[in-house]
Structure 1
Amino acid sequence: MRTLPIGLVQHSCQEDRQANIDKSLQGIRQAAAQGARLVILQELHCGPYFCQTEDPALCNLAEPIPGPATEQFGALAKELNLVLVLSLFEKRAAGVYHNTAVVLENDGSIAGKYRKMHIPDDPGYYEKFYFTPGDLGFNPIQTSLGRLGVLVCWDQWYPEAARLMALAGAEILIYPTAIGFDPADSQAEQQRQRDAWITIQRSHAVANGIPVVAVNRVGFEADPSGQTAGARFWGHSFVAGGQGEILLQAGDQEDVLTLELDLDRSEQIRRIWPFLRDRRIDAYQDILKRVRD
């Protein structure tokens, strides 16, 4: 049996960048101490979720890749012999920025990166103002621990993204995330939103026969513009197995979770549920249309 010990680091964020990084570093060390060899961080873990408002000055938060964060986290990856999944605000060129996941190999080098493809633009989530849509496609990143299908947050709602990663050989789908409630919503509406978030990602695990890992932040973050009630990030980071079963789940507090995944199980699942075998690729042309008129 080929197993992969993984760790999930879920924490709140504040204005102090180094304080946030220190939380991530501490969480990584804790996960490593519990046996993890792959550790995954939440979306944009170096700072607050700044996309609640549109402010050109916030583009100063972006950094190059490689850059300060990959250097600092890379040193820890090498020290602890870990593969790490980071989520950074990438400065690619003057005025061109991406929401980028970076995978660091256990020698501290960059194994690969993924630029977020689906960019939301909703009240409190004005990401189109900051992020250029990704241009690296849906390609798994090869590491010493396996092929990682890394996507980011809003990507997690799209079955096409998960499918393309699986078709390209991803052994696990990974979603660094920053999603929360509008505090003004009712308890029932908040519950529906969180349940939908969990359900759609479990469905990707089922449809593709591979595990899914989602890592979300926690805590309340105010809207600097005062136009909304802010965001209360709901946490509930989780791991789903290849039949959609919940293997591990956090609550809404800061936490470090670890789990040993059986990567060979996907082969057995796909033999009894051969969805990939039975796909009608000759009949799916209309999927390339925005809508069918």
Structure 2
Amino acid sequence: MRNSSKLKVGVVQQSMADNDKQTNWRKSAELVRKLAGEGAELVMLQELHSTLYFCQEENTDYFDLAEPIPGPATEYFGALAAELNIVLIASLFEKRGSGLYHNTAVVFDKDAGMVGKYRKMHIPDDPGFYEKFYFTPGDLGFEPIHTSVGKLGVLVCWDQWYPEGARMMAMAGAEMLFYPTAIGWDMSDTPEERKRQHDAWQTIQRSHAVANSLPVIVANRTGFEASPREGDSGIQFWGQSFIAGPQGEILALASEDREETLLVELDLARTEKVKRIWPYFRDRRIDAYGDLTRRWRD
């Protein structure tokens, strides 16, 4: 384990042009190498970074994009993490078995290989985001992944709207929260609505940092991806990946429409200091929260 409380964390924000995995992996690797060359000890890639965001339609042919774990992607990114001596968070369309698929984040730790995975728990089903057709909800729970740089609370995209997932990770000892993401605008929305959606997205994740006194690291894709459905306007992914500190303060923010990387040196010792000043975990009324496990209070 590390002796220093300082940790350099990097984020890759990338666009996708097609479903050529090898080309996309090489592109990701180039950006990861750039960050490692700048001193990054941990790097996160965005959600489903091997391909286009195929969930814009329901099409059984897209299941061919999935692969097992371990498989070609884990072999490629595991070797990359070992080569660069970093911790690397990747995102895969996992084929767990015949007819059983997950949206899965995988963590590689230097030369130790794959040290853990997280299967997306909350699965959306909205126009242009038909993920329930492809992904079975995760069954690994909200368990931090132990690495040489600390305990990582890794979640995925739609999970970021749920305070319960962030809280469960924090309660289990996560030292940082990570959200690989693929979210963007419906091009038929007004500029005012687009701003409201983005602001809500950033605010809810900054609130996870505040409520749990933990850094939050978010990687979103950027660029326009046309819809394969006739008459559909496609998705403009809004980028704006960011890293927030344990009081929700923005430490780094990417652009809306460019491929780029973020790099921040976090002071993990500050987490404990913040928790002492704002003792939310001390003051939680766990005796009164039982109804949170119900669907609704009638």
Q: TM-score range by the shorter chain?
A: over 0.9
Equivalent AA in structure 1 for residue 278 of structure 2:
W
2:17 is matched with 14
The yes-or-no answer on 1:117 pairing with 2:121 is yes
Provide the residue aligned with 2:225 in structure 1.
Answer: 221
TM-score, L = length of structure 1: 0.99
In the alignment, structure 1 residue 2 sits paired with structure 2 residue 5: yes
Contact 1:76–1:108 under 8 Å retained in 2: no
Is 1:284 matched up with 2:289? Answer: yes
Deviation at 1:74, TM superposition (A): 0.9
1:254 paired to 2:264: no
Which residue of 31, 36, 58 corresponds with 1:32? 36
Q: Deviations over 1:129-181 (max 9, x none)?
A: 00000000000000000000000000000000000000000000000000000
Gaps of 5+ in 1: none
CA distance in 2, matches of 1:219, 1:244: 26
SS in 1 for 2:273: helix
Task: Give structure 1 regions of 4+ aligned residues with deviation exceeding 6 angstroms.
Answer: none
Q: Percent identity?
A: 63
Q: 1:50-97: CA deviations, max 9, x gaps?
A: 000000110010001111011011111111101000000000000000
Q: Select between 182-191 and 140-149 the one with higher mean Cα deviation.
A: 182-191
Give the AA of the match of 1:194: H
Amino acid at match of 2:209: A
Distance 1:101 1:108 in 2: 17
Give the residue type in structure 1 aligned to 2:161.
Answer: W
- Helix, strand or coil for the counterpart of 1:60? helix
User: Residue type matched to 1:111 in 2?
Assistant: V
RMSD of equivalent CA atoms: 0.8
Question: CA shift at 1:108, angstroms?
Answer: 5.0
SS of the residue aligned with 2:111? Answer: coil
- How far 1:227 sits from its partner (Å)? 4.5
Structure 2 CA distance, aligned partners of 1:290 and 1:99? 24
The TM-score normalised by the length of structure 2 is: 0.97
Q: Does 1:195 find its partner at 2:199?
A: yes
Query: Which structure 2 residue ranges, 5 or more long, are not aligned?
Result: none
Q: Distance in 2 between matches of 1:37 and 1:52?
A: 34
Task: Name the CA distance, whole Å, in 1 between partners of 2:46 and 2:232.
Answer: 23
Q: 2:268 aligns with which of 255, 263, 268?
A: 263
Distance in structure 1 (CA, Å) of the matches to 2:163 and 2:77? 31
Structure 1 residues 227 and 129: alpha-carbon distance in aligned structure 2, compared to 1, 3 A threshold: farther
